[in-house]
A and B are shown apart, each in its own frame.
Chain A
Amino acid sequence: MSQKEKSFNIKLYAVAAFVAVAVFLAVVCTVTFKAKYTAFHPDKLAEVFVENIAQSGDGYNAYKNTLVSKNMKYGDFIRKYYIEPNAVGEDGTVLSDEALKSKKTLEDDGTLAGQLIERMYPVYKELIDTNGWDNYDLIFSEYIKELKLAREEIFGDRFFNDEVFFSAFEANVSSYSDFLTGTEDVFDENTGLQLSEKTVGKYEEVYGEDYSFTAKITSEKPVDMNEYIKDFSEKLPGEYGVSPEDISEVKKYAVDVFLYEGFSVAAVEVTVVKIGYSWYVDNVSTDTKVLYSFYH
């Protein structure tokens, strides 16, 4: 034993331990990152993009994986191109000025905000049912127009900022998902008070209680890179901050939404592009309308 201890090189052990752990950590981090972060895998990105929309009807959050969000946080994109232009009245009044807040706004404990959300939900649902989410410009523009009117009526002021928009809009996105998927009974953890009752979603009505959607790539379509870039250059909105030269690779997948193996309920073609190390869904070339209507 003592011979063994004498031969133990503590400095060598320290270096070996550091190197071994560094390699282990690098491998674990890489594997975890690859497994969870879809933007490194075009096929996975396409499947997750379709599956998320099909499962919850949430096309709003699906844009977080598209070219819209390439150079800017999605929320900032909405702020810059839809909220800020709408936060100035036709008469030049800055609508986000706190001084515009009415007494009702200042004293609201959430009741009026709740009324606004309820009032806006049919507007949101109508927009999605009619258009899907591909024309986000129409969705945001129309929704904000109605929101400003509804808010003025309920709160009695013209105040409008990003918080007003996001709190109402995101609540509506969530309600729309609930409409499709249904909800469970919700109780307050501390008081035990029932906050909301269980509802049966549209999907359950149509496909039964144990329905489950899975998106899978059924084939990869050939893409002519030159033609794609040409077409892309013409259609690409300038506000994305993406130039055709940034794109190093393009793939197009046929993705089906399966209720169970072999039974497809919807099919879409998803185009994904590689910029830098990450892949993004080309929302300009991808038609998702069927994902908002397949259950009808």
Chain B
Amino acid sequence: MSGEKKTKYMKRSEIITFGIGLFGIALLTGWMPDYTATFFADFAFKGKGFDPDFMSNMISMVFLAAGIIGAVCELVIGYLVDNTRTKFGKVKPWVGFGAVPLAVISMLVFVSPDTDNQTVAVIWMFAIYSLYTMVCCAVESPANCFGALCSPDPAERSSAISIASFLRSVGQSGGMVVILVVGLIMKAVMGQQQFKNAEGQGLDLVIATGICALGIILFVMIFFVNNRERVPFTQEKVSLKDAVKVVFTNKNLLMVSLTKLCGFGRGVYGTVSLYIAIYLLGSKDLKLGLLLPMGIGTAVGTLLVNFVLKRFSTKQTFILFSLYGASSLSILFFVSRGIGFNDGLIIPFLILNFFCGLQHGNTNVTPNIMIADCVDEIEYKTGKRQEGLAYAGYGLFSKIASAFTKALGPWLLYTWSGYLVSTDANVAYAAQTDATLNKLLMIYTIIPAIFVVLQAVPMFFYDMVGDKKDTIVKTLIERRAAAADKNS
């Protein structure tokens, strides 16, 4: 085997343009939910005199509804992708043609109607954000599963997925950089105060969205023109019943999806990052400082995983990174306790935050490679190739996990930690007891660490590795070659 010359399926440029496509999508979708919430709450209906409590409840409902719609769409889009048969493939048309409505609708999210009617405003928020969620799902989910189709060689596609995931994670932060740069340019052109006036209307968000929306078109079109699907799709039509069955009955696919569910509490640190900045590090301005080292760590971790995967299997890599992640979070906890909550903690905390971020590279890359392997296994067993549904199943579990995270985070913060809310109009953040501060630190470190360990548990039942994987890949290549001979 080692003496055989390995066939290279993908051009080098294709690996890059696959990543550029994901970068383009993440450039917009990476920051949309957060900034949409800000836009709806602070700018969309400014000065209209709407009841702020009612509106803030409605905004929560908008995002809850969008979460449900997103979860349903994951499955529906997965099903539709698997039943797509075109000259361009099954995934590419969704991405290439879907990018245009995605760009248009994203822009419209930031163009609120000029209405004094609160009901109209609420209906608009529900309608536009639900539409965005659906279109986003129709582009993002297929784009994520392109990795399983770009090459029949698992090693080659692993490299492609890894590099593309790195560019996607860069894209997720890229949108925020666009907002920053737009602000700087507007300031230079308009002057400081005029920029503030425009910012007060959310106009910097409108311009930034326009640029990111144009970016998504540019980068997705580069991907659309340059990339090819190289794994032939099977011709059988998939029924919806079979489709749902695939997601829940393939053991390995289920195990990969369960990593998300078992590790749902990993993300609760996000709920307390602002409070960590205020109470433990001394300034709310340090929130960005907290997230930046972690973001850089994530990007570096994404590249690091590629190297680790060359020496270890996907299963071993996932478990190793999970253990590393739990250890780094525990070290952050003990170092913070050791130093105490004072100025001296800032630098060590930020450095350790970078090391904690490395583990996220694993959760960004390895499951995507595993799902591609699971798609091979499903094709091997059933003769049907179902990338769309396999990734949709994972996406569905991700969305459920995300809903749990969003429920657990606030509960831990406002109930479990004993956090005291300021009742004085002149005091933004009330003083907290030491016990509460300690619990805030735990929500940022130890509790996510526990979930990082839990996410690795399903991996012990995952077996699409080693000889089994090699045999399946070899058999599939032989089957495809035989099918191609037969057709010709």
Contacts and interface: CB of A to CB of B under 8 A. Distances in A.
Interface stretch (A81-89, A98-106, A191-199, A266-274): A191-199
Contacts of B202: 36
B191 A70 contact: yes
B87 interface: yes
A15 B423 CA distance: 57
Given A25-B210, A32-B111, A109 B427 contact: yes
Given A36-B201, A70-B191, A190 B426 contact: no
Interface stretch (B99-107, B123-131, B287-295, B376-384): B99-107
Contact of A32 (B53, B103, B206): B206
A114 interface: yes
A196 B214 CA distance: 47
Contacts of B53: 189
Contact of B197 (A15, A26, A28, A39): A39
Contacts of A14: 96, 221-222, 224-225
Interface string B64-100: 0000000000000000000000111000000010011
Nearest to B49: A212
Contacts of A6: 87
**3 A-B pairs with least C-beta separation:** A110-B427, A69-B193, A14-B221
Most chain A CB within 10 A, of B193, B225, B423, is at B193
Given A10-B96, A11-B225, A195-B425, 7 more contacts: A22-B217, A28-B210, A32-B206, A69-B193, A109-B431, A110-B422, A110-B427
Interface stretch (A71-79, A140-148, A248-256, A287-295): A71-79
Contacts of A5: 86-87
A200 interface: no
18 contacts: A5-B87, A10-B224, A21-B104, A21-B214, A24-B104, A25-B107, A28-B107, A29-B206, A33-B198, A36-B202, A64-B193, A72-B193, A73-B192, A73-B196, A109-B424, A114-B424, A188-B421, A193-B423
B213 A21 contact: yes
Contacts of B99: 17
Interface in B31-85: 53
A140 B196 CA distance: 22
A228 interface: no
Contacts of B431: 109
Interface in A211-269: none
Contacts of B88: 10
Nearest to B92: A10
Interface string B105-124: 00110110010000000000
A191 B214 contact: no
Size bracket of the A interface: 35 or more
B471 interface: no
B207 interface: yes
Given A64-B193, A69-B193, A193-B423, A37 B203 contact: yes
B323 interface: no
Contacts of B416: none
Contacts of B196: 64, 73-74
A61 B206 CA distance: 24
A14 B96 CA distance: 8
Of B53, B190, B425, chain A has the most CB atoms within 10 Å of the CB of: B425
A35 interface: yes
Contacts of A127: none
B424 A111 contact: yes
B194 interface: yes
